[in-house]
């Protein structure tokens, strides 16, 4: 017997409203046991038509807990395809917790993280790629990332993956038919057609695999460390790129001692900016710790924004960074272009000039950052099929299986082996949408969700 789950679906903390969600075969009955209708048209959940809202009180151990709006959604037209009740109560930890308690005391079980979405998946409402898109949607930090998550939730990637898997299954059926009749070899022209279809499947996989890096960027963002000697304007630049004052700006060198990390939205891409502590050699204990962390940050960063003070001659430290950071990873920024220029660089080095006080040049810098992360256009077509690292892993295995199958066909190897590799490829593709997914895989995906989702 499937149990009925309940959880607070809104973030914990104080707010205007909190929502408690219940799903399962006893959702209506459990809600009924805790709910006393108070509106003129309000009904008890068991008699309420689907998709209606009712005003009333939640009663816990005989005492009213809160005035609520209760929505009744009957299976199967719900997110989980089970009976669902959602209760909106007053925000704040206590009302929501007491409402939840009342439900748990009447037989609901506290939901695990992602369990509502897991049920939506198990009941065929969405596939695994779409379930992941729900998490992406919640975590997306830019509109572009949100658009990609929405496309995946709408099922565009799933449609293509399903048709890819169908192709592989049909080819497999063909090969297997010949295994059953060992005397008949596959006729040369049939073999030729199968090879063509496999090659087409392979290049489609390559196409999808090429979106993995962009998918990663949109989902996780990239880490960009801001470096430069003290007073160059690193904190000022961080604030400029964020569009708000996050870091302390000060004329006294060495003010930023801890590392500050904030995600900026740069041309739709999430960029985690890291303001490093001054990198200069020092005897101050606190600053030494800062320097140690900076080194670590730099090693992990995918991009370095090296800020030079345009109003000062090149310092020894700056020269060191210029030598240290590979050109393809760094962007050179010449700050303080509003002041008389005193920084002279070798001709081959051409930094982007900015003034962090007025904001001059900052848009150019944003373009340069975007260009370095993502050359070319970000097309709507790309957003539709942006695969994640799990999809990438599965597709790589599938691609290798197709490659082995092609080799086996060329060498006229045994059909059993050919079929085996094809099956591996089709199963790997099926993992993406969850057609072939182990419990472990599901656990690892859904445990990343929050409770109540």
Name the residues that contact Mg ion, by CB under 5 A.
234-235, 256
447, burial (CB in 10 Å: exposed 0-12, middle 13-18, buried 19+):
exposed
Both tokens of residue 5?
A: 């789950």
Closest approach of ligand GDP to the CB of residue 255, in Å: 6
Number of amino acids touching ligand GDP (CB under 6 A): 20
Q: At closest approach, how far in Å is the CB of 305 from ligand GDP?
A: 11
Helices (H), 210-265: 212-220, 234-242
Question: Of 148 and 333, which CB lies nearer to ligand GDP in the complex structure?
Answer: 333
231 touches 251 (CB < 8 A): yes
Q: In terms of CB distance, is 322 or 413 closer to ligand GDP?
A: 322
From residue 301 to residue 340, the character string flagging contacts with ligand GDP as x (rule: CB under 6 A) and all else as - is ----------------------------------xx-xx-
**Contact (Cβ atoms closer than 8 angstroms) between residue 173 and residue 186:** no
Inter-CA distances, 125 with 14, 82, 143, 146, Å: 32, 10, 26, 21
Q: Residues 56, 233, 351, 361: which binds ligand GDP (CB under 6 A)?
A: 233
Q: Which does 22 bind (CB under 5 to 8 A by kind): ligand GDP, Mg ion, none?
A: none
Q: Does 230 bind ligand GDP (CB under 6 A)?
A: yes
Output helix, strand, coil percentages for the chain, rounded to the nearest 5. 45, 20, 35
- Does 108 interact with ligand GDP (rule: CB under 6 A)? no
For the bound state, the minimum distance from the C-beta of residue 278 to ligand GDP, rounded and expressed in Å, comes to: 6
Q: Segment contacting ligand GDP (CB under 6 A): 145-153, 223-231, 258-266, 431-439?
A: 223-231
Please report the beta strands in 24-130, taking only residues with DSSP state E, as ranges in sequence order. 35-37, 52-60, 63-73, 84-90, 109-110
Q: Are 342 and 311 in contact (CB under 8 A)?
A: yes
Inter-residue contact 155 to 124 (CB < 8 Å): no
Task: From the list ligand GDP, Mg ion, none, pick the one residue 230 interacts with, judged by a Cβ distance below 5 to 8 Å according to partner type.
Answer: ligand GDP
Q: How far is the CB of 247 from Mg ion (least distance, A)?
A: 6
Q: Which is nearer to ligand GDP, 54 or 334 (CB)?
A: 334
Q: What is the full DSSP assignment across 182-218? A: TTSPPPHHHHHHHHHHHHHHHHHHHHHHTTHHHHHHH
Q: By C-beta, is 234 or 306 nearer to ligand GDP?
A: 234
Instruction: Judge contact between 430 and 399, C-beta under 8 A.
Output: no
Residue 261 engages ligand GDP in binding (rule: CB under 6 A): no
Residues near ligand GDP (CB under 6 A) are: 228, 230-236, 249-251, 255-256, 335-336, 338-339, 355-357
């Amino acid at each position: 017997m499937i149990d009925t789950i309940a959880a607070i679906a809104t973030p914990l903390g104080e707010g205007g409203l909190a929502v408690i969600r219940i799903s399962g075969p006893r959702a209506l009955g459990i809600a009924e046991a805790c709910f006393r209708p108070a509106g003129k048209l309000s009904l008890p959940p068991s008699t309420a038509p689907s998709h209606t809202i009712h005003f009333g009180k939640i009663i816990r151990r005989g005492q009213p807990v809160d005035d609520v709006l209760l929505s009744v959604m009957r299976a199967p037209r719900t997110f989980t395809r089970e009976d669902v009740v959602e209760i909106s109560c007053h925000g704040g930890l206590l009302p929501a917790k007491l409402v939840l308690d009342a439900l748990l005391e009447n037989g609901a079980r506290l939901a695990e993280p992602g369990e509502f979405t897991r049920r939506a998946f198990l009941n065929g409402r969405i596939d695994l790629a779409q379930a992941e898109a729900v998490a992406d949607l919640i975590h997306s930090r830019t509109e572009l990332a949100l658009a990609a998550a929405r496309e995946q939730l709408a099922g565009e990637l799933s449609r293509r993956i399903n048709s890819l898997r169908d192709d592989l299954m049909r080819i497999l059926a063909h090969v297997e038919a010949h295994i059953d009749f060992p005397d008949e070899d596959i006729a040369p022209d049939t073999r030729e057609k199968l090879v063509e279809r496999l090659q087409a499947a392979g290049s489609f996989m390559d196409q999808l695999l090429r979106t993995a890096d962009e998918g990663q960027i949109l989902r996780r963002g990239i880490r960009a460390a801001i470096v430069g000697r003290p007073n160059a304007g690193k904190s000022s630049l961080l604030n400029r790129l964020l569009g708000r004052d996050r870091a302390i700006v000060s004329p006294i060198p060495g003010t930023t001692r801890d590392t500050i990390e904030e995600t900026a939205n740069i041309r739709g891409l999430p960029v985690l900016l890291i303001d490093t502590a001054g990198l200069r050699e020092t005897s101050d204990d606190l600053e030494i710790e800062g320097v140690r962390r900076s080194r670590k940050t730099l090693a992990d960063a995918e991009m370095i924004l090296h800020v030079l003070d345009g109003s000062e001659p090149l310092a020894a430290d700056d020269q060191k960074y210029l030598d240290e950071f590979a050109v393809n990873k760094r962007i050179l920024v010449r700050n303080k272009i509003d002041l008389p220029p005193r920084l002279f660089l070798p001709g081959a080095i051409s930094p982007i000039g900015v003034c962090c006080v007025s904001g001059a040049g900052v848009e150019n810098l944003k373009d340069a950052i975007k260009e370095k992360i993502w050359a070319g256009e970000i097309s709507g077509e790309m957003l539709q099929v942006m695969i994640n690292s799990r999809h990438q892993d599965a597709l790589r295995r599938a691609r290798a299986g197709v490659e082995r199958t092609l080799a086996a066909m060329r060498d006229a190897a045994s059909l059993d082996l050919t079929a085996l590799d094809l099956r591996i490829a089709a199963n790997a593709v099926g993992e993406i949408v969850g057609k072939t997914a182990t419990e472990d895989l599901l656990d690892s995906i859904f445990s990343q969700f929050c409770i109540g989702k």
